[in-house]
Structure 1
Amino acid sequence: MRARAHSVLAASVVLTLAAGPLAAPAFASSSGTAVGTTATATTTEHTADGPDGDALRAALDVVPDEHATAALVRVGGTDGGWRGSAGVRDLASGRPAHPNALFRAGSTTKVVTAATVLRLAAEGEVDLDAPVQHYLPDLFTPAFEKPISVRQLLNHTSGIKAGDALGDDFAELYAHRFDTLTPQQVAASAIAKGPEFDPGKQQHYLNINYTVLGLLIEKVTGRPYASEATRLVLRPAGLRHTYFPGTAPRIRGPHNRGYQAVQRPDGTTRLLDVTEWNHADRWAAGDMISTTADLERLITALFRGRIVPGPQLEEMFTLPPGLPKATMSAGLQVQKVGGKEFWLKTGSRYGYNTAVGATRDLSRTLVYSVNATDAKSEAPNPVIGGIIEAAVK
């Protein structure tokens, strides 16, 4: 199922193709001057608790650095708003980052997928308590004898194991970045491994849950996932630039290029351009391309009940019962940030880290896209940490 290129060979390909300059000298414009921060503040009548523009500007002033080549931030809500950008559009030219750039939104796609399923539930097309085996009988093997509800897919308590990918590490994945692994192949590989645990007994965040939900959407509606997500969520939310690229590796429209730090044998680092990539296997779990303005529109329309009706919308603010450590609901995660309770979703693709979130009352919203140089790392990115800290002051 998974293409198995030899890791050593793949690594040598990465190092051979790594044409980007060393991180340190790259972070200047073509004229030799530093690349600064552009910011716009918007306010409402209630500004006392609004975003701290000085702190946000300071958080972006460090970009570009070794952790990020560009950053876009949009803070909004009823308490006031602020938006800004910093860094470079690409290392070769050093042009300032495009403030309205499109980017790979990663797992924030799951917000759209969850909303699509919940819309179908509101319309009586999907029963959240029904077994997914009922909707997709040909996908599951007898090993999945215990029913998995649609709701358990939404909140990551299904017990389905992760599906295959096109590699086990960055070098291998990069070598196959233009190859196509279909969602159907990913789902079949996951089911072939058998269940990880009984449904509802644990919460394990995995893309496979939303890959299966994408298949469910197509089976129930008889139409492609992208078409239904656009019809039921993107269009009603007023998203003007968001789309699903499918197997197309390029970002359509203005964008800031993404880079991955790759270590040479001598211990020095080059930044490898990873902007162009076929992420079709991420599909309903993470293949959306968007903008900060569109993601702000999405979270605002969603939380105001304009996309999903009230009874179904509650699923996005409800954690699975009996699991005290659970933090994931349908499409979102709850987190305490600066004393505020945020419902949010993060996402990462090589070269791009993204997040969209808000307090439930929409007093504060936050969207960022950071062109991180190690976007899949589990270590905290100080640029992102600085943005979050400033955004919730």
Structure 2
Amino acid sequence: MQLRPSAVALATVLALGLTALPLSGTALARSAPPSSCTARVSPPATAEGPDSEALCAALAGLPDQDATAALIRVGGKGTWHGVAGVRDIRTGAPALENARFRAGSVTKVVTAAIVLQLVAEGRISLDGTVQHYLPGLLTERFKPITVRQLLNYTSGLQSGPSLGDTVEDGYPHRFETLTPRQVVRGAVAKGPGSDPGTQQDYDNIHYTVLGLLIEKVTGDSYAHQAAVRVFRPLGMRDSSFPNGPDPLIHGPHNRGYDWLDGALVDVTDWNMSDRFAAGDMISTTADLERLLVALFRGRVVSEPQLEEMFTLPAGVPDATYAAGLERIELNGRVIWGKTGSRPGCAAVIAATRDLSRTLVYAVNATDAKGDGLPIAQRFGFPAFNR
């Protein structure tokens, strides 16, 4: 069980024998460097620009019990950038605005874009099946599963194995390797969870299979395809994938932490190879903003394939996901985006379809794999106040 400490007594020693960080909530607050909030609203003095006051308030007081650092970029009709917190709670050095971080499931947007590019090139059909493109991957227990059903999470595949369902469970195994093929084999062994196209179940397994599909069709690694098709054309110079099981984030980054057994533990270094095309990307807020804007403008995926990213599956009850993107309604407007989380970091990209408002954030949340709604309400929702 994960225990969240009080504000006055936080430091204990992990049962694993690791030294916990000797900090309390009040100590975190005392060591907080000043936050930086810069806004450029055009035209000024209108209700259309970002709510700078609310956004700055979200950053006030970092680091605290819920997050040690936050990076926020708001664009559209006026821009706003904010950074607060610390790079490393041991040194108290201020957080880096250009920090690289694990973007988690935001990776799925890149994967969906690559698949749709291959569709546009005639190398993949959305109505083509996994059984056709990846013969032998599924057993005879599975009905035909289409590429479109993988993209919108209606394939009926069940989740594959992991090295821990929670950060607490996974932490002792953080340097172990679980390959995508092992994940898929474990999922297939469970058999189908539902008939394809009948219900939407968000899970990494759909995009793990899509990553294998990309490699099979292109004869290339998924990571290289992401680089040549998305990162390089958009100038996303700080975006990459780890080299296999490499657990490090190379280049400038803010450390990530999680409360484990009542102690604040550094969880930055972690082998994420099992996440593959579903959640292994490392990026920056500036790079993800480039991706978001270019994608919505049709510079990454062209029509008619782009429309797949804004189309919910027909006839599927309570569906909220299209190909790579999720549809939400907030303050009376429709927003499309994607969340992502890995131990120590929660990330989001989101925008209105017309790009009148865009949001990218990376928050070094201390419960990043828990319920992400409080973090989104604090750091994301203010971007759409008006």
Matching of residues 1-393 of structure 1 within 5 Å: 15-27=16-28, 34-45=32-43, 48=46, 49-77=48-76, 79-144=77-142, 146-245=143-242, 246-263=244-261, 269-378=262-371, 380-381=373-374, 383-393=375-385
Per the normalisation by structure 2, the TM-score is: 0.93
Q: Output the aligned Cα RMSD.
A: 1.5
Once the 2 structures are TM-superposed, how far is the Cα of residue 262 of structure 1 from its aligned partner? 1.5
Structure 1: 4+ residue segments shifted above 4 A: 12-15
Distance 1:255 1:201, change over 3 A: same
2:5 aligned partner: none
Residue 104 of structure 1 contacts residue 352 of structure 1 at CA under 8 Å; is this kept in 2? Answer: yes
Residue ranges of structure 1 left out of the alignment (5+ in a row): 1-11, 264-268
Q: Normalising by structure 1, report the TM-score.
A: 0.91
Distance in 2, Cα, partners of 1:172 & 1:14 = 13
Match of 2:4 in 1: none
Task: Answer whether contact 1:15 1:262 (CA < 8 A) is retained.
Answer: no
**Structure 2 letter corresponding to 1:301:** A
Deviations, residues 65-124 of structure 1 (Å, cap 9, x unaligned): 1000110000001x1100010111111001111111111100000000000000000011
3-state DSSP of counterpart to 1:16: coil
Match of 2:10 in 1: none
Q: Distance in 2 between matches of 1:36 and 1:327?
A: 38
Distance in 2 (alpha carbons) for counterparts of 1:168 and 1:61: 32
Give, in angstroms, the shift of residue 25 of structure 1.
4.5
Checking the alignment, whether the CA contact within 8 Å between 1:44 and 1:80 is kept in structure 2 is yes
**Number of aligned residue pairs:** 371
Conserved? CA contact 1:14–1:174, under 8 Å: no
Contact kept, 8 Å, 1:40 with 1:82, in 2: the verdict is yes
Query: Does the Cα contact within 8 Å between 1:18 and 1:271 map onto a contact in 2?
Result: no
Which secondary structure does the structure 2 equivalent of 1:88 belong to? strand
Deviation at 1:53, TM superposition (A): 1.1
Deviates most, 248-257 or 370-379: 370-379
CA contact (8 A) 1:23 1:270 kept: no
For structure 2, list consecutive stretches of 5 or more residues without a partner in the other structure.
Answer: 1-12
Q: Is the 8 A contact 2:32 2:62 kept in 1?
A: no
* Larger CA deviation: 47-56 vs 102-111: 47-56
- Write out per-residue CA displacement over residues 168-218 of structure 1, whole angstroms, 9 at most, x where no aligned residue: 443331111011111111111111111000000000000000000000000
Post-superposition offset of 1:373? 0.5
**Which secondary structure state, in structure 2, belongs to the residue aligned with residue 368 of structure 1?**
strand
Distance in 1 of aligned mates of 2:21 and 2:274: 27
Report sequence identity in percent.
Answer: 58
Q: How many Å apart are 1:379 and its aligned residue?
A: 6.0
Alpha-carbon contact 1:161-1:190 (below 8 Å) kept? yes
What's the secondary structure of 1:295's corresponding residue? helix
